[in-house]
Chain A
Amino acid sequence: MSDFLHVYNAHAFPAADCPQVDFETFRRQVVEAVAGGARLAVLTAQQAASQDSRLIAVLMGLEAERLSVLSCPVGSSYAALTPQCPAAHWFEREIAEQTGIQPAGHPWLKPIRFIPGPQGSAPLPGVADMFGMAGSEVHEVAVGPVHAGVIEPGHFRFQCHGETVYHLEILLGYQHRGVERALRGGPDRRTRHYMETLAGDTTIGHAHTWCRATEALAGTRVPARAQAIRGLAAELERLANHIGDLGALAGDVGFLPTQSYCGRIRGDVLNMTAALCGNRFGRGLLCPGGVAFDVDGPLAEELLRRLERISTDAGGAIELMFRTPSVLARMEGVGALSTETARQIGLVGPAARACGVDIDVRRDQPYSIYRFSHIPVCTWSDGDCFARAYVRWLEIQHSLTFVKEQLRSLPAGAICQPPQPLRAGQMTVAVVEGWRGQIVHLVSTDAAGRFDLYKVVDPSFYNWFGLACVLRGQQISDFPLCNKSFNLSYCGHDL
């Protein structure tokens, strides 16, 4: 018998109903549930002036289609969950860094974002007690924060013996710009922009999650037409990024044809999103209550025409890559992760599905359009760079079909239900399957209907440690390929 409250995806409940148990019970029930196959979606500490701090956990997969919430009061220190529940590893480091509450017995406690502590002391970014190796021929390779390509900043430290990497340490936080802090007390006129820029390549994903959380808190019903257009935008975002990633992977193994074609085709998909709302990343398309732009008949026709072209071109470019033995030889067996490890560390999205972990929010906690139009879940079992690439290709094909279907059968009606103010003292968990994996927003309102908790978990937050794991035992020259096969977000992690 557990004390969890089971709620549907983005359904609001009175914040007072969030079950609170003593810490020992909380710890035992979370650890047991995760050991039994549930996944830790959120573990966070909420500090409020009026009350004591509390820990809140959200689990997925404990109860069909629902999310399970539990909380407990916490003092300045508690017994860390990580030793029994590795998926809590990153969350507990975040708790310690953000609140100063100490998870005692955490095996690897150090900053994840290098933000000034509650006492104001500011750590130097990238300077931490790192996992090291000793020996005469052991060497360390340090990379970043400024990288060779046009990419975001992060610091990587490899422990090598010869060419073999024994351990990779990933230090982030260079993109930290204080979004979660700024969200508290909202919503206000910047809220939309914080959401759309949590991770620029996931504008639709985060905006969608925020809209759904806000709609739940306000009790707004979204018209069917708006839900379909949101689904359209979400799958276009997935298409653009997956196609771009496959091109980049081709580039990293030196297969230039696919790299060049996919780079261009990705742009064509972004331009479809721009046709919807004027912006290539989908800025301004979604709004609480629905969408801000309609897709009329001629536009749908035009998009279908472009999609035909994109299907043919993408198919040609990508299948060419997967037919080329030298490409396959470079990807197969590189950076492999077992299903077991993927589950333990709590991997999400295509990276998890490539390890045979059969999860997808669109099916498991279905929401909006995906409750009516199903998209098959694509998995592969090898967990290597090939698998991460191939799962993307499978998903591209399903998304193409889905977008075509939606464009042909857009329901009639309004595109936006004017949003109401948020209700006071409510709580909700909204989860969306972004192109990198699940996006979770855990939100609650105070007595005035303002956000007193806005916890964002970007899929990259779950997956960065997975990248560190796959590098073990690999050649250091395999890093670019492995890194690209995950293609994680720095800003989505750093917030």
Chain B
Amino acid sequence: MFDIVRTRWRQKYQTMAWPDGPPPALPARFAGRPRLAAGPVENLRDALAACPTGALDVAEGQGRLDLGKCLFCRACQQACSDGQVSFTTEHQMAARQRQDLVIRPGQDSPAPARHELAARLFSRSLKLRQVSAGGCNACEADCNVLSTLAWDMGRFGIQFVASPRHADGLLITGPVTRNMQLALRKTYDAVPGPKIVIASGACAISGGPYAGHAEQSDGCAAAVPVDLFIPGCPPHPLTILDGLLRFVGRLEERE
């Protein structure tokens, strides 16, 4: 017993101050929200060829970047001859609407994530059933991190629960493999209404690196209606928690 108390004392208090205090420092080399600068589209040619998922493309005579497909690998940045594509260390990226994930030159402000129904019903208690539907387990790992004492997501009343029957909604990761289609459907049906669905990570939003493979469904939107999109490969825990808090209206949207 004495041993336990002594160890507890040595380990100190470790829960971060955010969102009341500053957010945890992100590494200097972190690839957060990308930024597009206006420029001749010819100069994007090499960047387009380097992009593994087609997240970067050209429409209406200018570049655009789909956060929902992006793996944040920065191959585009390295290949781009005139610096039109760059990456900030901004973590805020989750969005309520799928189309809001598409970034165009000069468009730097994060999209809204607030969900009226969720803000009304779940702002003090949001129970989520996580469904892992393919992918590589990195998204799951960074969801699990939110339950550790550094992040302590429970302080906001947000929790992962064991049964879909106890849940207010699903948090889905993975591109939804063929072998998970039925299980995802059944889990969704088992959640009592009104319910919400969160797609976390490039796989769940667009299929990620597996987009186009016959073995999966290019994300979960084909199977269930999605209320919040959290980009990243995998999304940083701060990106996830920020998205969840804005979703339920616990964090002010930035102008």
Q: B62-102, CB under 8 A of A: which get 1 and which 0?
A: 00000000011111000000000000000000000000000
Interface residues on chain B, size class: 35 or more
Verify B10–A316 contact, CB threshold 8 A. yes
Residue A334 lies at the interface, judged by CB distance under 8 Å to chain B: no
Given contacts A148-B162, A264-B14, A278-B27, contact A192 B73 (CB under 8 A): yes
Q: Which residues of A contact B26 (CB under 8 A)?
A: 274
Binding site for A on B (CB under 8 A): 3-4, 7-8, 10-11, 14, 26-31, 49-53, 71-75, 129-145, 147-150, 160, 162-164, 174-175, 177-180, 182-183, 187, 208-210, 213-216, 233-234, 236
Q: Does residue A419 face the partner (Cβ distance < 8 Å to B)?
A: no
In the bound complex, CA of A266 to CA of B145 (Å): 9
A434 to B132, CA, bound (A): 23
Nearest Cβ on chain A to B93's Cβ, whole angstroms: 15
B11 touches A152 (CB 8 A): no
- Would you give 23 A-B contacts (Cβ < 8 Å), ordered by A? A145-B179, A151-B140, A152-B132, A153-B180, A176-B178, A182-B210, A193-B73, A194-B209, A197-B209, A200-B137, A201-B141, A257-B8, A260-B148, A264-B14, A264-B150, A278-B28, A278-B31, A279-B30, A281-B138, A313-B11, A316-B7, A317-B11, A491-B134
Contact B50 A260 (CB under 8 A): no
Least distance between A366 CB and chain B CB atoms (Å) = 28
For B142, give the chain A residue with the smallest CB separation: A280
Q: Name which residue of chain B comes closest to A155, CB basis.
A: B183
Closest 9 CB pairs of A and B: A200-B138, A278-B29, A200-B136, A148-B162, A263-B148, A197-B136, A178-B215, A125-B179, A193-B209
B210 touches A178 (CB 8 A): yes
8 Å CB contact of A177 from B4, B149, B210: B210
Q: Is A320 an interface residue (CB 8 A)?
A: yes
13 additional contacts, CB 8 Å, given A153-B133, A174-B183, A320-B3? Answer: A148-B162, A149-B162, A152-B140, A153-B132, A175-B135, A175-B179, A176-B179, A189-B51, A197-B136, A203-B138, A263-B145, A275-B28, A278-B30
Q: Once the chains bind, are B209 and A190 in contact (CB under 8 Å)?
A: yes
A146 to B129, CA, bound (A): 10
Chain B residues closer than 8 Å to A175, beta-carbon distance: 132, 134-135, 174, 177, 179-180
Please determine whether A267 and B138 come into contact, CB atoms closer than 8 angstroms. Answer: no
Tell whether A274 pairs with B4 under 8 Å between CB atoms, given A178-B215, A182-B213, A264-B149: no
> Contacting B215 at CB < 8 Å: which of A115, A192, A264, A490?
A115
Q: Assuming A176-B215, A263-B149, is B134 touching A150 (CB within 8 A)?
A: no
A114 within 8 A of B: yes
Closest-CB distance, B134 to chain A (whole angstroms)? 5
A163–B180 alpha-carbon span in the complex (Å): 30
- Distance in angstroms between the alpha carbons of A323 and B134 in the assembled complex: 39
Q: Which residues of B contact A115 (CB under 8 A)?
A: 215
Residues of A within 8 A of B174 (CB): 175
